[in-house]
Structure 1
């Protein structure tokens, strides 16, 4: 499933290079690692509590917008429900495509924003602007 999720993100890469950010990366890096190996991708990862020096420290509830300038795609894997509206707002503010992979069978907490449910091979996730 994670390979399928990463493939979908890669299929949305329309620029060369495509600038991507994973928000609230935590300790799961399989998707990031796959995307980071691609030639046409520039990728960063952010988290409020970075677990290694390659993660940029940022609080999504009060984001440093300079970090997210000129991004093409933002994605997040299993972000807590209370953070989802902040991630959506960031994508809207920066006019960036958004892909959120929630916990299994979890609905998205989008407040007034409607995200589209996508199924790609064995992966299910929500998108905005994609």
Structure 2
């Protein structure tokens, strides 16, 4: 799954990228940081945010169903790894609001919002929306 970081690094100009719903899996965000990106990890779970900060990442608590849109301003892209189907439309709404691409790696079989383009990178399905 670390290949997702390589894919994003190829697709997105260096700058601020945001992982929505980081949970306790920080490898992709940390790899993007190593590649020179300013990564902001977002999660509604305070413990996940503390874990991300302890891993050396910038992290904030946010509820994407009622987002603090200022957190997302200035981003070059927003991405999420295996978000719930309910989260996907809200990730897309945030991306549209701040006019940046969104990348979603869904769980196998999860429905993906309409208008997203499927890109398969090293066998990993990555859905992309761009303004």
TM-score (norm. length: structure 1): 0.88
Distance 1:81 1:69 in 2: 24
The structure with the largest helix share of the pair is 2
TM-score (norm. length: structure 2): 0.87
SS in 1 for 2:9: helix
1:90 aligns with 2:94: yes
SS in 1 for 2:85: coil
Tell whether the 8 Å contact from 2:17 to 2:39 is kept in structure 1 after alignment. Answer: yes
Give 5+ residue unaligned stretches, structure 1: none
Mapping 1:1-130, distance limit 5 Å: 2-14=1-13, 17-39=14-36, 41-50=37-46, 51-53=48-50, 54=53, 55-108=59-112, 110=113, 113-129=114-130
Distance 1:94 1:76 in 2: 16
Tell whether the 8 Å contact from 2:43 to 2:49 is kept in structure 1 after alignment. Answer: no
Give 5+ residue unaligned stretches, structure 2: 54-58
Equivalenced residue count is 123
